[in-house]
Amino acid sequence: MKWDPLALKSEAKKEVYKLIDKHLRKLPKNQDGTINEFSEGFDDNDVDALRHAYVSGVFTQEYGELSADIFGRLNEYFPGGSLSSANAENSTNMDLWNNSIGRKYGKKTKSRKDLFKVLMKALKKGELIIDPDTDKRKYLGASEIKGDISRMVIVLEENKKGKNRIFYDLNKKLVMKKGEFVTFIKHGDYPNYELRVIGGDEIPVSKKDPLSANNLG
């Protein structure tokens, strides 16, 4: 389990670019041989589609489908939940669609090697959207992030009994073990959350809120 979502995203992006360079086509490189992702050819195409699907699949393998979905949706928005003006509606639809394909195969695979293999097959079969303007398929799942996410905490990991044990503060980019989160709640640092005693165990839960992406019931 990798507890830093930002580091995991960066790691997964670098991995998939290397795999694309090896198995799909050569990508632009810097003088030191690293992939130059800021050059042309990385947006609104098959490279873009594979990147979104792979990163989403890796997040699914690490954190589960629901958390991967939340991170994928948040990636399309600026902090605070407002739609990024840099993303056209069709491009955002493409990203959300490809994220969902990544989650689909992330659930079915255990290794990143197998994940990339099945995503390459998905690309060849036309499952991924590679052109946001000509492909008219629409992502029908949840897309918007409603409500203020500045105080939102989500679950990264459960134990074998299904109890939440690792949490992530989206605003502070802070990973917390259950005991730490419980202490913060008791100190009043998270007023939108409370503790319930279940079977003698203090369980962090969210108070009723309008956040559509909240996975901490």
What is the per-residue pLDDT across 104-132, written as a single tens digit (0 to 9) for each? Answer: 999 999 999 999 999 999 999 999 999 99
Domain membership of residue 157 as a residue range: 149-206
Q: Are residues 16 and 121 in the same domain?
A: yes
Count how many domains the chain has: 2
Q: Report which of 77, 100, 73 is spatially closest to residue 87, judged by C-alpha positions.
A: 77
Q: Are residues 32 and 119 in the same domain?
A: yes
Contacts by residues 20-28 (CB-CB < 8 Å, ≥ 24 positions apart): 20/47, 20/50, 20/51, 23/116, 23/120, 24/50, 24/120
> What's the start-to-end Cα distance of the chain, in Å?
22
Q: How many CA atoms lie within 13 A of 49 on its CB side?
A: 23
Q: Are residues 16 and 118 in the same domain?
A: yes
User: Exposed, middle or buried, 40 (CB in 10 Å: 0-12/13-18/19+)?
Assistant: exposed
pLDDT digits (tens, 9 = 90+) for 83-98: 444 458 899 999 999 9
Q: Are residues 174 and 89 in the same domain?
A: no
C-alpha of 73 from chain center: 7
Written as six digits, the tokens of 144 are 């918007």
Q: Are residues 113 and 21 in the same domain?
A: yes
Q: Are residues 34 and 110 in the same domain?
A: yes
Does residue 140 fall inside a structural domain? Answer: no
Q: Are residues 119 and 153 in the same domain?
A: no
pLDDT digits (tens, 9 = 90+) for 125-160: 999 999 999 999 999 998 866 666 767 898 888 887
Q: Are residues 77 and 114 in the same domain?
A: yes
More confident residue, 28 or 80: 28
Does residue 142 fall inside a structural domain? Answer: no
Q: Are residues 71 and 172 in the same domain?
A: no
